[in-house]
Amino acid sequence: MPHTHITIIGGGIVGLALAGLLANTGRHITLIDHGHPPTAGLKIPYDLRVAAINHASECIFKSLGVWDAITALRVSAYQKMHVWDENSPARIGFDCADVGRNHLGHIIEYSVIRQVLYQYLAGHKNIHLCYETKPIALQEIQDGMVLTLENGEYLHTKLLVGADGGNSWVAQEAGLITRSKPYQHSALVTTLKTEKSHKHTAWQRFLTQGPLAFLPLAGTHQISVVWSTASEHTSHLATLPEIDFNETIARAFEYQLGEVSVQDQRIVFPLTEHRAIEYTRSRIALIGDAAHTIHPLAGQGMNLGLLDAAALAQVLMDAQDPGKLAILRRYERWRKGDNELMLKAMSGFKQLFGSTSALHIHARSLGFLLTDKLPFVKNYFIERAMGLSGDLPMCAKEPEFS
């Protein structure tokens, strides 16, 4: 039976990043994913799935030595963010110059990050990438876990990491307690071409139906649009004739970027708040969406997952037995508090901005006004969103702060 030190279930960005962060520890790492391995080369049109990568995540990729390869493909740095409310005159603007930076973050396609991380891992002899199969059974033994794979193979591992999404097989098989609550919203995602340049700015308008975000892509007139709204509304938007859809989006966005034209299919996916009550047990750890999923209105889901991977890698760095519960609990204590805080904040924002009551509208207006007029408050929010503050893993800190 093959033996490995650490097995990661899930070949998304977070699972690949964890494998990369552990690649030079001398341990044998196995990554298992039921899908196909990423392919080299850009897909045209743009990948519909994009991530808003903040400074902490950028530092993680730089620590792996893959950031230059990512930026050599297709990325879009953004310097500003404009947010405004449909039901009040409230507006707020964020500018990277306010905190002495040259960008707030980058919008990057999932496929770009995945193919670069995959190519990086493929160059390490101690990492085994096992695609197009999945685990079907899990058995705990005295010194580890035995996985049975769909392809008939068995694998002995010291630590099993679930990076396999909100409906995590690892969490279910390990008996970890999780809680899920539908948001009653879905997200519609597509790519648009805009009449006016996006000016390397991220835009978000809080509408009664739900937040509408325009995220700048590499082309100055290319935008990724995410509209989180009631499921009935997203279904309606997805089936509108193209000309009607274009007009609906442009009008909802108050023509900030002029006329728009849809460039790709419109996909809809349900939104669910998911949290694991336990991130760890002996020989088991959850990271990324397997541990927590949040509303996309703040664009922080991927960044939280990458911080999970970085924190877990750091606590495992010098551990003789990576599956020991005492070691894994250090990771859970480190990350669970920050993740829970973000989950609660996003739930609160969704309720506050989804309400049309006069009291909530007044509260939103006052909050926007005070935040915009008080530089120390605004800068706090900027730095927090950029991943420049908080209890960060070493590889997520900028060199002068590490």
Q: Is the pLDDT of residue 358 over 50?
A: yes
Whether residue 70 lies inside any domain: the answer is yes
Between 83-87, 222-226, 236-240, 352-356, the lowest mean confidence (pLDDT) is in 352-356
User: What per-residue confidence (pLDDT) applies to 13?
Assistant: 97
Give me the domain span that covers residue 158: 3-74+106-180+273-354+393-401
Q: Is 132 a domain residue?
A: yes
The total domain count for the chain is 1
Tokens of 177: 């307690």
Q: Which CATH number belongs to the domain containing residue 292 in this structure?
A: 3.50.50.60
Three state DSSP letters for the chain: CCEEEEEEECCCHHHHHHHHHCHHHCCCEEEEECCCCCCCCCCCCCCCCEEEECHHHHHHHHHHCCHHHHHCCCEEEECEEEEEECCCCCEEEEEHHHHCCCCCEEEEEHHHHHHHHHHHHHCCCCEEEEECCCEEEEEEECCEEEEEECCCCEEEEEEEEECCCCCCHHHHHHCCCEEEEEEEEEEEEEEEEECCCCCCEEEEEEECCEEEEEEECCCCCEEEEEEEEEHHHHHHHHHCCHHHHHHHHHHHCCCCCCCEEECCCCEEEEEEEEEECCCEECCEEECHHHCEECCHHHCCHHHHHHHHHHHHHHHHCCCCCCCCHHHHHHHHHHHHHHHHHHHHHHHHHHHHHCCCCHHHHHHHHHHHHHHHHCHHHHHHHHHHHHCCCCCCCHHHCCHHHC
Compute the distance between CA of residue 164 and CA of residue 31 in angstroms, rounded to an integer: 11
Q: Is residue 288 included in any domain, yes or no? A: yes
pLDDT of residue 344: 76
Domain annotation covers residue 8: yes
Q: Share the mean pLDDT of the chain.
A: 90
User: Two tokens at 366?
Assistant: 């006052």
The sign of the dihedral angle between the CA atoms of 50, 118, 143, 312 is negative
pLDDT confidence bin for 379, thresholds 50/70/90 = confident
The model carries a pTM of: 0.94
- The mean per-residue pLDDT over the stretch 191-219 comes to 94
Would 237 be classed as within a structural domain? no
Distance CA 291, CA 271 (A): 15
pLDDT digits (tens, 9 = 90+) for 21-62: 999 999 999 999 999 998 877 777 789 999 999 999 999 999
In sequence order, which residues have a C-beta less than 8 Å from that of residue 124 and are 6 or more positions away? 23, 24
Residue 87 lies inside a defined structural domain of this protein? no
pLDDT at residue number 401 = 46
What residues contact residue 256 under an 8 Å CB cut-off, 6+ apart?
A: 82, 196, 203, 214
Please report whether residue 243 resides in a domain.
no
pLDDT, tens digit, for every residue of 327-336? 999 999 999 9
Determine, yes or no, domain membership for 155.
Answer: yes
pLDDT tens digits along 116-130: 999 999 999 999 999
% pLDDT > 90, the chain: 69
Question: pLDDT tens-digit profile of 90-148?
Answer: 788 889 998 889 999 999 999 999 999 999 999 999 999 999 999 999 999 988 999 99
